Chain A
Amino acid sequence: MVDVPQWLIIILALVYAPIIGLFLMGIERKLSARFQGRIGPPLFQPYYDLMKLFSKEALVLNRVQILYAYLHLAFMMVTVVLLVLGQDLLLVLFAHAFSTICLILGGMCVRSPYSRIGSHRKIMQMVAYEPIMILMVIGIYINQGSFMGRDVFLLGKPMLLTLPLIFVAFVVAGMIKLDKSPFDVATSHHAHQELVKGITIEYSGPFLGIIELTFAYEVFVIFGVMACFWTTNLWAGLGLALAGYGTMILVDNLTARLTTNWMVRYMWSIPLVLALSNLIWIYK
């Protein structure tokens, strides 16, 4: 392999991750529209949305919320950087969690009931999916004997073969992360009327743009992790990730939003049991 300097990888990742993420979001909008019998927006609609948001006037409630919007993005960038550098996966998970925590705090620091309710629902979402994420990291550890992300590539055989149930659980957890139905209780790209945009309600203009940008990074992260389940062949990995992403979109269109309590109960039963049984299976 060519020896690419670390800083170059980081810059490339930081530049290309949101581009890829936005493209995936465009595919999703198009696909969802097709599922609903519509033509849908252009493929590059998410780019336009983002550019528009950055050109709008910023309305704020206080100064603190700005801080958290930026930190939300910063920690998501850290996540991406650590992931592409193949760093310790537990740390990646922490960085990812901090990004979400910053969003939650941003929603809580304003005196808006909608936004606070959104924040609390986001907290419950974290409670629902974090165990799955950590079980996934443990599974990877048992699989390869280290926490380092780059060791996944040294394994020589696809992770999916040993961790199939964890992959399924991860797809479900990813749906929560990407705010897909039936788990989109905190905020959603569709539920504009019911949730009044939940946690992001008091952000507008460029600050909403920052949050959308972060979402693009997040799509990239989830997509990338799914692709890493098949490391031996690039196309197979991409196919796997696309299949997982497609499933998310399909389920998003098929189901209705359910309650927070249902979500926590569901996640702590079926996907958690799936992940645990996978762990028990590979544990010697």
Chain B
Amino acid sequence: MKALARSPWICHYNCNSCNGCDIELLACLTPLYDVERFGVINVGNPKHADILVVTGSVNHRNARVLKNIYDQVPKPNVVVALGVCTSSGGIFAGCYNILGGIDKVIPVDVFVVGCPPKPEAMIDGFAKAIGLLDAKAKGLSTPLAEKPRICMVPTVRPEAEAPVSSEKA
């Protein structure tokens, strides 16, 4: 196992989340779950991170910010999307300002489903992410994550589905 996979530092970006996912993420660091066993540190700065953890959905204003932060994470890196909001917009889908899941802005490697996901699910997601990191560190190409089927979207406005490029933002 490469050193990269033994020391995955995560940077957490709250992208229009309801804070449920964020609280559960922090729960991972508590004595009960203690993800630091795997060398995970929750850093506050994308430039030090290996895993970008995103919660919440993308809206018109934060798409640019998300892209910017993603650009500041040094390669090789992995993006983990927590919660259904990140895949489809979740309970916010259909709001006037919501664009949808974060995969519209940045490539996502792991989706963790749940609203919010349980810490066990998150740890599982991190384990997957660590595997991907290891593969990326070895120079292998890894596939992007499949979008989970679970969808809480009651109605989706057609214009919100349009893909957003960073230039436009």
A and B bound? Answer: yes
A204 pairs with B47, CB closer than 8 A:
yes
**A196 in the interface (beta carbon within 8 A):** yes
Per-residue interface assignment for chain B, residues 22 to 38, with 1 indicating a CB less than 8 Å from any chain A CB and 0 otherwise: 00000000110010111
The answer, among B6, B37, B43, B75, for a CB contact under 8 Å with A48, is B6
**B156 in the interface (beta carbon within 8 A):** no
**B131 in the interface (beta carbon within 8 A):** no
A 29-73 contacts with B by CB, 8 A: 29, 33, 36-42, 45, 47-49, 51-52, 55-59
A-B contact number at CB 8 A: 81
Question: Smallest distance from the beta carbon of B70 to chain A beta carbons, Å?
Answer: 12
Question: Smallest distance from the beta carbon of A204 to chain B beta carbons, Å?
Answer: 4
The answer, among A49, A58, A196, A201, for a CB contact under 8 Å with B74, is A58
Instruction: Tell me the nearest residue of chain B to A55, going by C-beta.
Output: B4
**A179 in the interface (beta carbon within 8 A):** no
**B87 in the interface (beta carbon within 8 A):** no
A59 pairs with B34, CB closer than 8 A:
no
Residues of chain A within 8 A (CB-CB) of B76 are 56-57
A204 pairs with B74, CB closer than 8 A:
yes
| Interface size class of chain B, counting residues whose CB lies under 8 Å from the partner chain | 20 to 34
How many residues on the A side are at the interface (Cβ–Cβ under 8 A)?
Answer: 32
B2 pairs with A55, CB closer than 8 A:
yes
Residues of chain A within 8 A (CB-CB) of B74 are 56-59, 204-205
The answer, among A33, A52, A55, A195, for a CB contact under 8 Å with B34, is A33
**A121 in the interface (beta carbon within 8 A):** no
**A208 in the interface (beta carbon within 8 A):** yes
**What's the Cα separation between A194 and B72 when bound, in Å?**
19
B 35-84 contacts with A by CB, 8 A: 36-39, 41-45, 47-48, 50, 72, 74-76
Instruction: Tell me the nearest residue of chain B to A114, going by C-beta.
Output: B45
Q: Would you call the interface of chain A mostly helix, strand, loop, or mixed?
A: loop
**What's the Cα separation between A202 and B38 when bound, in Å?**
25
**What's the Cα separation between A33 and B7 when bound, in Å?**
16
**A257 in the interface (beta carbon within 8 A):** no
A56 pairs with B7, CB closer than 8 A:
no
Instruction: Tell me the nearest residue of chain A to B33, going by C-beta.
Output: A38
Given contacts A196-B45, A197-B48, contact A48 B137 (CB under 8 A): no
**What's the Cα separation between A56 and B77 when bound, in Å?**
9
Residues of chain B within 8 A (CB-CB) of A196 are 44-45
Residues of chain B within 8 A (CB-CB) of A29 are 36
B7 pairs with A49, CB closer than 8 A:
yes
The answer, among B31, B43, B47, for a CB contact under 8 Å with A36, is B31
Interface-centre pick from B7, B31, B50 (highest chain A CB count, 10 A): B7
**A192 in the interface (beta carbon within 8 A):** yes
A45 pairs with B7, CB closer than 8 A:
yes
Residues of chain B within 8 A (CB-CB) of A47 are 3
**What's the Cα separation between A48 and B41 when bound, in Å?**
13
Q: Could you list 9 A-B pairs, sorted by A, with CB under 8 Å?
A: A38-B31, A40-B34, A42-B39, A49-B7, A56-B74, A192-B44, A193-B42, A201-B47, A204-B74
- Give me 6 other A-B pairs in contact (C-beta within 8 A), A49-B7, A56-B50, A201-B45 excluded: A40-B37, A45-B7, A55-B3, A57-B76, A59-B47, A205-B74
Which residues of A approach B to under 8 Å, CB–CB? 29, 33, 36-42, 45, 47-49, 51-52, 55-59, 192-197, 201-205, 208
